[in-house]
Amino acid sequence: MADSLDLGAFPASASNKLDIQWGVGREILLVDVGSAETEESALGCAQWDEPSSSQRQVAYDTMKLYRALHTQALQDHDKAARLQSILEYSQEITSVLQAACSRPSAQDEGLQTVKEDCCAWELLQLFYILAPRLEGFVTQDLVLWMKTHNALLSTRETCLQEALYEVCAEAEEQEAAPQTVSGYWQVFQRLVLVGWVDDARDLLFSHSELHAPEEQLSRFDKSASSELLEQVDALLRCMPQVQPMHGQAMDDLSFLNPDDYTPAREQWQLECVKLLENPRLWDECRQTAPDTAEALRVTLSVMSGDREDISNIAASWLELLLGMLLYGLPTKAATRHAIPLIITQCLSTRAEAEAEVPPPAGLSLPIIEELLPAVSETDTARVLSAVSQLSLWFKAHMPDILIATPQGKSVLSSSLEHEGGDVSEKLTLAYAHSLMGYPTTWHVAAAYLAWCPCHGAEAMQQLLWQLPMKGDSRLANQLLQQCQLYGLPQLAVALCRQMGVHHWQSGRTAAALTWFIRGHDESRASQAAAPLTHQIEAMLADTTTGFQAMPALANLEGLLNSLASPSGADENAVPLPQQAKVPSSVQRRGALGFLQGFLKLQQAMQDVQSAQDQSQLQKGASAVRDMVMVLIGRKIAPQRTWLPLLFHTIPVMESTHPPVFSHTDTQRLLSRLQEATVWLPNNSQNEQQHQLVAIVRLALVRSVAQAHLTAFPPALPAQA
Amino acid sequence: MADDSFHVSRHFLDRQAQKVSFIPFAEAGPAEDAAPGTMLAHRLFVTGGWRQELKQHIVSIADLELKTVPAQELVLSADKQVLTDFSHQGRVTAIQVKQWGDGNVMVVIGSANGGISRMRFKVPLAPGSALAEIQMVDMDSDTHEGCLTVWQQCHTDNVAAVDINTDKQQVLTAGIDGQLHLLPMQWEQGSETSTSHQTCYSDEGGYVSYYDAQWASIDTFVTASTTGGLQVWDIRKKSCRQSDLKWGMTGVSADIGKGTARQIHSIATHPSQPDKCASGGSNGTVAVWDMRFTSAPVAASTGKQNAGDVWQVQFDADYEQGPAQAPPVMFCTDDGLLCRANWAARAHAPLTYMQLNAQQRLSSTPEVSTLLSEASSINGFDVDGSEIVAVVEQECMCYIKRRSQTF
């Protein structure tokens, strides 16, 4: 059972209700719901395991690689090409991890996690990609891997780099011969054992015997100890090293290819044995420097392959493993087929010795104890079990490597019976979940969710919906872009509504309309535009001052112009006469349609008022007629505005010749007038309204007559 | 990467910057302890963004130390260090830096909660000067908390733009609340909350929200708003001219009929041609307007189905003056591109919308070249001659050094 996590305290009143909800990602929202009397509620939020700076850096830099690999996978049908892509991907990921590990960041708590990920990643890469591909020896790769991650792979007591540093520091501090410092020879032997030849030679070179004054060397023959030291150093210098697999491309002459390595190492070990069997040197050395003699003898014994000495010197099972691979076993033991057995043997040997002293928890060594055997056998099920303590980043990216083997592919792509999806998707989802709740990494989470075929869409909806937009139009645009990209139209509508309401609440009509229109939310758009509609109605109702333009409406012209026509014809619309020209953009109902039409009517009225000649007047009047027929004829305008609208149109109606309103138009308007006034109470309070009706009716009748006369000019009686 | 970029470096900032601007500083001087011909330069820049570790909005001043060999057009190293951080109330929505006189630099910052902050310092101009020679003159800050305080709370919501007019000593601010302010730059202690000298163009009814604003000349400035297109304001006449709405909300004919999903996000006036203004908007569209509004804007579109929005545009001053009707424009997009649109190839084409082939990749078109390609949004950038600094959503900044085309 997992340990519980303390997320902090949230003050809540004992008399109130506490509402708890999952937030986005690793977040819990707590609401202290106030009682009806106090009406005070408080909101709290608890987050945990927030990605640190270095973890975010890794997340950013690997996202692009992940996306490219998976996009490539859709196109790669050739197995070799696929494996090549995976190899390049894993190498690029390694570079990203190493760069993040080397970044100086003292206060970054996540750096340790990144280092652990890097350590495990290199191991996976070696056994799942490089070893099957190149079929060489893994010895040198393991030497370099252990050197890179020594601090992680050891306890403080067994850390070789730490021990080397301490010996050097102590020698410097004491100003004594280094070989007299406690631990000097032990560290030297361990350095040789794990194959850190350069460090071993540097340490050996600090031996005081190799720095005897020149006059001393000229007066006496070289001492046996210095001769031995030099010969050991010479042997170390020419120690055969097999080419590491991850550096196959490197043209480094100091490494041998696998074919040359085996005979070279046998020859080299014979020379070690030869030196070991030189009694003169050893006897003389024992007399003058017994410690040096004994330490060098053990070292040479290790180099010549003595398994007992190897086992005695090794401070951990990893050191034992490297000692055995470098010196104690035939070179072929380091092939991918043979090494699982060696690893198991080293682990069991060391486990017996350390049975009473379990390794400290929290270090990577216990993980590696499980991971290395599993990885070396390419046993994917065991690998998945072993990495349970590693980061979610690692678990999400690990399948990309494991899938390189047929067995790995079958394990990872097997569907989960009760959860849906496969193992790979489950791991990706968990990783994406860990990035969702933060403004810096939500977009990375979204990029990963796109590759989750079973649950990705649902999680994406949750992510995009729960991100706090707080009126941030830039973020809103980004979220809408994601909706468009992943086909989430309903969510897009909801996000537009959220933004629209935000602006509406703040009294920003134009911004609110922008978002409502974008979200096809005509109902709210009409509601938001209602104050303007009321202003227009108030202006129209004032019949004493004539038609007044509404300057605010001009600011909305762009928005109203951008209204798309509804798809298909409006079945409920009153069909217009064929000859009537209607601007295609004014086909909406509701407040927006009214505003759209009224804006055009306003422009046409202004054109009529500013007309310089008859032609301009006719043109303007014709536009006024078009809009009147749209607003009233098609019932776009609210019914209560028909009467005042017609009243304000009378001057235009009567100032043009030939009349712009046809006989049919006027008949339709008369019928609309009848509809608008049929329920008008006949009392003294509505006297003014009734007067208006009479004026408008009279004007319309005159217009009918005029239109009729224009259409059918009376034939003048022949002059008698 | 474009052929004329000879150095691109990427630096992790550890903060998600939304805005960036160069701060003028002394030219390069000879580098000590380096080969002859090696020069050392400091490129200062200010960023505004979010710091996750501190969970704070933050304004940072950072330095990029460059070791270059100008004769070989070589950048040997580029090392970034953050010099100072100020926490900031509200999301940083706009930053403007201007230099005038003898090294006087003013930085004005707009906030999502409607406040304006400012800081002023004096930078050395002698080549090879050290960072230690920068003098902080004054700033609106709470020195105990390291927090920038508000100089003027003149908007009720998002400040969409701030721009400094050094000739008139005025700061133009535009807000999503439909207000435009002209604030005097004078630094008077105790006048923090005074609004007596403000000139305000206010839309009380909420029928306008501004997306961006910038000075075009001493007396005129340009805005982009919910009204659509561009508006040119003349402060002498207190008048406003609106672009023809038949060109659509963004000036790009492909956007006409696509509703309010197409908007202008950013505008930039040309530093020496007051009649030219560039705009960047939804779906990767960029347009260059003639602000006399005698002709339709010349425009480019990425042509991609889901092209990212353009967050910032700027004219590229580092170009050869040719017969093109519009100077080249640089822009950054939400899908991680920093591009340069060059109209020279279309010099003799009519001023109409130039639709690129939808099948063509952005980088392969002759008009638009990609300077930088990132996995996430490029939030902002600044150009100074042949140098470009860009901030990326992934908490990093990129520095680009190009071969100069004019010098």
The 10s digit of each residue's pLDDT in A195-208 is 999 999 999 988 87
pLDDT at B24 over 80: yes
Question: Which residues sit opposite B391 in a β-bridge?
Answer: B380, B397
Q: Which residues 176-195 in chain B show a CB within 8 A of chain A?
A: 176-178
B137 DSSP assignment: E
Cβ-defined contact of A514 to B226 (cutoff 8 Å): yes
- More confidently predicted of B173 and A470: B173
Contact B376 A439 (CB under 8 A): no
| Cα–Cα nearest to A474, from B334, B13, B279 | B334
SS3 annotation, B167-220: CCCEEEEEECCCEEEEEECCCCCCCCCCCCCCEEEECCCCCCCEEEEEECCCCE
A224 band by pLDDT with thresholds 50, 70 and 90: confident
Query: Which pLDDT value is given to residue A572?
Result: 31
Average pLDDT value for residue range B159-183: 94
B149 touches chain A (CB under 8 A): no
Q: Is the pLDDT of residue A486 over 70?
A: yes
What is the reported pLDDT for B360? 35
- The tokens for B7 are 């150095």
pLDDT over threshold 50, residue A549: yes
- For B147, the 3-state DSSP assignment is strand
- Angle at which helices A258-276 and A290-303 pack, to 10 degrees? 150
Distances (CA, A) of A218 to A213, A215, A354: 9, 5, 51
Give how far Cα A5 sits from Cα of A47, A49, A132, B185, Å: 11, 10, 42, 52
Count how many Cα atoms sit within 13 Å of the Cα of residue B244 in the half-sphere of its side chain. Answer: 12
Q: Can you tell me which residue has the tokens 């005129």?
A: B220
Q: What is the pLDDT of residue A126?
A: 93
**B193 pLDDT exceeds 80?**
no
For residue B144, name the pLDDT band (cuts at 50, 70, 90): low
Burial category of A308 from C-beta neighbours within 10 Å (exposed 0-12, middle 13-18, buried 19 and up): exposed
Contact with chain B for residue A561, Cβ under 8 A? yes
Residue B407: the pLDDT is 43
More confident residue, A657 or B87: B87
For residue B94, pLDDT over 80 is answered with yes
Other CB atoms closer than 10 Å to residue A583's CB: what's the count? Answer: 13
Q: What percent of chain B has pLDDT over 70?
A: 86
**pTM (2 d.p.):** 0.88
Residue A507, min C-alpha distance to chain B (Å): 6
Q: Could you identify the residue written with the tokens 């130390």?
A: B65
Neighbours of A501 (CB within 10 A): 16
Q: Which of residues 368-387 of B touch A (CB under 8 A)?
A: 375-377
DSSP states of A575-622 as a string? PPPTT----TT----HHHHHHHHHHHHHHHHHHHHT--SHHHHHHHHH
Q: What is the pLDDT of residues B253-265, one digit of tens each?
A: 888 877 888 899 9
> In 3D, which of B232, B303, B307 has the Cα closest to residue B267?
B232
Q: Is the pLDDT of residue A103 over 90?
A: no
Q: How many C-beta atoms surround the C-beta of residue A8 within 10 A?
A: 8
Q: What is the pLDDT of residue A712?
A: 75
Bond into A658 cis (ω within 30): yes
Closest-approach residue (CA) in chain B for A480: B261
pLDDT given at position B117: 93
Q: What is the mean pLDDT of residues B376-391?
A: 95
Query: Does A248 have pLDDT greater than 60?
Result: no
pLDDT score, position B34? 78
Q: What is the mean pLDDT of residues B186-195?
A: 54
Residue among A45, A63, A92, A508 with most chain B CBs within 10 A, to mutate = A508
A484 to A467, B118, B306, B307, B354: CA distances (angstroms): 17, 39, 8, 11, 25
In DSSP terms, which residues pair with A243 in a beta bridge?
none
Query: Which structure tokens are listed for B225?
Result: 């708003």
Predicted confidence at residue B322, as pLDDT, reads: 62
Residue A557 contacts B where some CB pair is shorter than 8 Å: yes
Looking up tokens 């420097």 gives: A289
Q: Which of A477, A558, A564 sits opposite B257 (nearest CB)?
A: A564
Q: Is the pLDDT of residue A32 over 60?
A: yes
For the ranges A176-180, A566-570, B56-60, B250-254, the maximum mean pLDDT occurs at: B56-60
Assign A466 to helix, strand or coil: helix
The whole-angstrom separation of Cα A310 and Cα A318 is 12
Q: Over pLDDT 90: what percentage of chain A?
A: 40
pLDDT in tens, A488-531: 999 999 999 999 999 999 999 999 999 999 998 888 998 999 98
Q: pLDDT, tens digit, for every residue of A312-359?
A: 999 888 999 999 999 998 888 888 889 999 999 998 887 776 665 555
The residue type at B358: A
Mean pLDDT of A249-278: 83
**Mean pLDDT across chain B:** 85
Q: Under an 8 A CB cutoff, do A506 and B177 touch?
A: yes
Residue A19 is predicted with a pLDDT of 83
From B324, B231, B365, B339, select the one nearest B280 (Cα to Cα).
B339
d(CA A643, CA B231): 37
Pick the range with the lowest mean pLDDT from A554-568, A610-624, B387-401. Answer: A554-568
Specify whether the CB–CB gap between A447 and A436 falls below 8 A.
Answer: no
Residue A577 has pLDDT above 80, yes or no: no
CA dist B296 and B113 (Å) reads: 36
Using an 8 Å CB-CB cutoff, list chain B residues near A484: 306
pLDDT of residue A657: 75
Most confident range, picked from A75-79, A347-351, A531-535: A531-535
Q: Is the pLDDT of residue B241 over 80?
A: yes
Whether residue A644 contacts residue A541, with contact meaning beta carbons closer than 8 Å, is answered with: yes
Min Cα separation B219/chain A (Å): 23
Nearest residue, CB atoms, B334 vs list A60, A478, A561: A478
**Judged by CB atoms within 8 Å, which residues 57-96 of A form the interface with B?**
57, 60-61, 63-64, 67
**What is the reported pLDDT for A29?**
83
- Is A440 part of the contact surface with chain B (CB cutoff 8 Å)? yes
pLDDT band at A570 (very low <50, low <70, confident <90, very high): very low
Q: What is the pLDDT of residue A567?
A: 35
pLDDT tens for residues A641-655? 999 999 998 888 888
- For residue B350, the model assigns a pLDDT of 37
- Identify which has the larger pLDDT, B51 or A218: B51
Mean pLDDT (whole number) for B75-104: 91
**Report for A11-20, A355-364, B239-248, B393-402: range of highest mean pLDDT:** B393-402
Average pLDDT over every residue of B77-98: 93
A564 touches chain B (CB under 8 A): yes
- Decide if pLDDT at B182 tops 90: yes
pLDDT attached to residue A706: 83
Q: Which of A525-534, A580-589, A682-691 has the highest mean pLDDT?
A: A525-534
Higher pLDDT, B304 or B223: B223
Query: How much is the pLDDT for A571?
Result: 31
User: Of the candidates B397, B310, B398, which has an alpha carbon nearest to the alpha carbon of residue B15?
Assistant: B397
Torsion of Cα atoms, B79 then B85 then B89 then B95, to 10°: -40
Q: How far is B121 from chain A (nearest CA, A)?
A: 30
Residues in chain B with CB shorter than 8 Å from the CB of A531 are 205
Decide the pairing of beta strands B378-384 and A27-33: unpaired
Mean pLDDT, to the nearest integer, of B19-23? 97
B22 touches chain A (CB under 8 A): no
pLDDT at position A217 is 52
Strand partners, A175: none
* Residue A286 scores a pLDDT above 50: yes
CB pairs under 8 A between A and B: 141
Segment B28-41, tens digit of pLDDT:
988 888 788 899 99
**Per-residue pLDDT tens for A5-16?**
777 777 777 777
DSSP A112-167: HHHHHHHHHHHHHIIIIIIHHHH----HHHHHHHHHHTTTTSS-TTT-HHHHHHHH
Q: Which pLDDT score is estimated for A463? A: 93
Higher-pLDDT residue of B197 and A612 is A612
- Range with lowest mean pLDDT among A72-76, A317-321, A367-371, A530-534: A72-76
Cβ count near B393 (within 10 Å): 25
Average pLDDT of chain A, as a whole number: 84
